[in-house]
Amino acid sequence: METFAIQPRDVTCHTLLYAAHDAFRRDLDRLAAAAAAGKGGAAHVRAGWENLKDQLRGHHDLEDRVLWPRVERAVAGRRAERAVLEEMRAEHARIGPLIGRVDAVLRDGGDLPAAVRELRGAVEAHLRHEEMTALPLAESVLGPGEWREVADEAAGRCEAGTPLFVPWVVDGIAPIERSRFLTALPAPVRERNRVAWEPRYRKRRLWST
């Protein structure tokens, strides 16, 4: 598959996208560790899983409804580039049933480590594919105005509907990475996170036993 040169256009938007990918990997590792230890039924593990599902669905919805349509318009008539976006949507669709399988095992019993391993592998393969092809493609064809629209939509969702996003991203990450991520956000968002979002998130103790 062809790859595309990265030409960053909006640091905040890119920071949100890539930071979410890292957080998905972190939480899937946590889920795998809990499953291996036989703790998949613990309340805080279940709460962490529910949040991870919400974050995955919101991320995929943002891409499918906001980001990829803008890229599609920019690459109209270019078959190879449009195929990349079709692959992204197909991979999103394949991940859904794997999430459902983990839910079913948590609810009804079964081989949780195997279900988590399959989901984790599919998500990791998708994230690598997206980072190598789809996001560099978007970065090469979208202008600053379009990136601002995507960033504004992402920020709006964060502030209005999913205030757990920012504290979820920085949960457990290295201080330097935490500072880099928070510094890239608008000052009002950083302040809301400090005053309300992160204290609320910590009280939930997601994944903690």
Mean pLDDT of 80-91: 96
Banded pLDDT at 16 (limits 50, 70, 90): confident
Q: Identify the residue with better confidence: 146 or 153.
A: 146
Question: In whole angstroms, how large is the CA radius of gyration of the chain?
Answer: 18
Instruction: Indicate the average pLDDT of the chain.
Output: 88
What pLDDT does residue 186 have? 79
Alpha carbon distance 54, 69 (integer Å): 22
**pTM exceeds 0.95:** no
Percent of the chain beyond pLDDT 70? Answer: 89
Domain 11-204 is classified in which CATH homologous superfamily?
A: nmb1532 protein domain like (1.20.120.520)
Structure confidence by residue, pLDDT tens digits, 110-136: 999 999 999 999 999 999 999 999 999
Mean pLDDT of 197-205: 92
Structure confidence by residue, pLDDT tens digits, 163-198: 688 899 999 999 999 998 898 887 888 898 899 999
Banded pLDDT at 12 (limits 50, 70, 90): low
Domain ranges of the chain: 11-204
Residues with Cβ < 8 Å from 191, sequence gap 6 or more?
Answer: none
